[in-house]
Amino acid sequence: MADPVAISVNQVSKKFGQGKDAFFALDQVSVDIRENEFFTLLGPSGCGKTTLLRLIAGFEHPTGGYIKLHGEEISHLPPFKRPVNTVFQNYALFPHLTVAQNIGFGLDMQDKPAAEVEATVTEMLQLVQMESMRDRRTDQISGGQQQRVALARALAPHPRVLLLDEPLSALDYKLRKGMQIELKRLQLETGITFIFVTHDQEEALTMSDRVAVMNKGQILQVGSPNDIYDRPTHRFVADFIGDTNFLEAELVESASDSAVVKLASGKTLKTGPTDAGLNTTVSITVRPEQAVLIEDLDSADLQGTVTHVMYSGTDSHFHIELPSKEEFVAKVQNAGPTRRDWKTGQNVGIKFHDNVVQIVAG
């Protein structure tokens, strides 16, 4: 059974500018974010993910629709009246305050008694392992440490929801990996709902319980990382996350939980379900590692000529030109059982496993 909803976004639009310069940063977006969830908004820059986060934080107000927090409408409350805190991309630590004063700021502003502030600050410093930096100035600590202070500062008032705006983008690769694990640990320990914004698909897949993929002010798909990767419903989603191949096919059968398409080769394939009309041309997608290369051209779903072989250590990538002049890329594990040393110019058969091909919209 799913947890109750923490944040409910209903038909929310955000228009910037007026008249012909008007621009919809968000266009009637709806999504429910559950309690205790690590929820990620993923998309390219300008897709509206940061705008959605700022609407939830209260820095912007929607021009349409409403946002509810635990059933209570908050769309027009100012940020200081929302039990929601933000970790900013550049941390936004107060340079005139010490580490401890930064962490205690939210509690001070809520007029909590000094002893309670002190205790919570100590607890937070322990949580992010920064006890020894207590009285440092914020410009005397490293980027990774600033990140921890920013997290502790946002967590100290025990918000219902924590918003994180690309908090790892300023860190180098190694630190980023460490902080990913750290963030996940903090989320489990505190039990607070995390809404995480990123443009890094790998980060989104490794950390999230659920991901919403956004583009051009709309949420295209919401699902678990596995759903998003294996069962993309939209061309943009399949393309944005990982590598993939797109092919054209004709929809010949459609049921509620599956469909059948006919490929250019005349072979039919079972796919995931679709809303598309029967006998129309649809786009199908299949991941490079989900195709198997075989010698037997007759039993293959597709066939083509190897034009290019790229060796990349763990895998080899075979670029294959299909009769329709479309390019298909297959990825084969070099240590795997299906390994064969296909040469450029050789004809190969491509075989798909059941249920790996998806029909995508757009």
As measured in angstroms, the least distance from the Cβ of 92 to other proteins is 4
The residue among 109 and 252 lying less far from other proteins, judged by its C-beta, is: 109
The residue among 75 and 285 lying less far from other proteins, judged by its C-beta, is: 75
Choosing from 15, 68, 134, 137, the residue that interacts with other proteins (CB under 8 A) is 137
The residue among 157 and 223 lying less far from other proteins, judged by its C-beta, is: 157
How far apart CA 64 and CA 61 sit, in angstroms, is: 9
Which residue, chain included where needed, has tokens 């939210």? 106
**What track of x and - describes contact with other proteins for positions 249 through 268 (by CB under 8 A)?**
--------------------
As measured in angstroms, the least distance from the Cβ of 108 to other proteins is 8
Alpha-carbon torsion, ordered 164, 168, 170, 171, to 10 deg: 150
Residue 78 binding other proteins, by CB under 8 A? yes
Residue 86 binding other proteins, by CB under 8 A? yes
Give the binding range for other proteins (CB under 8 A) out of 17-25, 73-81, 169-177, 348-356.
73-81
Which residue pairs from 176-182 have beta carbons closer than 8 angstroms and sit at least 24 positions apart in sequence?
176/203, 178/144, 179/144, 179/147, 180/206, 180/207, 182/128, 182/148
Strand partners of residue 270: 260
140: number of Cβ within 10 Å:
11
DSSP annotation of 97 reads S
The residue among 157 and 232 lying less far from other proteins, judged by its C-beta, is: 157
As measured in angstroms, the least distance from the Cβ of 60 to other proteins is 10
As measured in angstroms, the least distance from the Cβ of 124 to other proteins is 13
How far apart CA 183 and CA 64 sit, in angstroms, is: 33
**What track of x and - describes contact with other proteins for positions 139 through 178 (by CB under 8 A)?**
--------------xx--x---------------------
Q: What is the CA radius of gyration of the chain?
A: 25
Token pair in block for residue 274: 């679709």
The residue among 103 and 249 lying less far from other proteins, judged by its C-beta, is: 103
Which is it for the CA torsion 297, 298, 300, 303, positive or negative?
positive
Rounded to the nearest angstrom, the gap between the alpha carbon of residue 143 and the centroid of all alpha carbons in its chain is 24
Q: Site residues for other proteins, window 36-65 (CB under 8 A)?
A: 57-59
Choosing from 50, 101, 233, 358, the residue that interacts with other proteins (CB under 8 A) is 101
Count of positions on this chain that bind other proteins (CB under 8 A): 27
As measured in angstroms, the least distance from the Cβ of 348 to other proteins is 54
The residue among 118 and 321 lying less far from other proteins, judged by its C-beta, is: 118
SS3 for 26-43, per residue? EEEEEEEEECCCEEEEEC
Phi (first) and psi of residue 301, to 5 degrees: -75, -35
Cα distances (Å, whole numbers) of residue 68 to 33, 71, 75: 10, 5, 7
How far apart CA 220 and CA 278 sit, in angstroms, is: 23
The residue among 93 and 350 lying less far from other proteins, judged by its C-beta, is: 93
As measured in angstroms, the least distance from the Cβ of 17 to other proteins is 13
Give the interface with other proteins as residue ranges (CB under 8 A).
57-59, 78-80, 84-86, 88, 90, 92-98, 101, 105-106, 109-110, 137, 153-154, 157
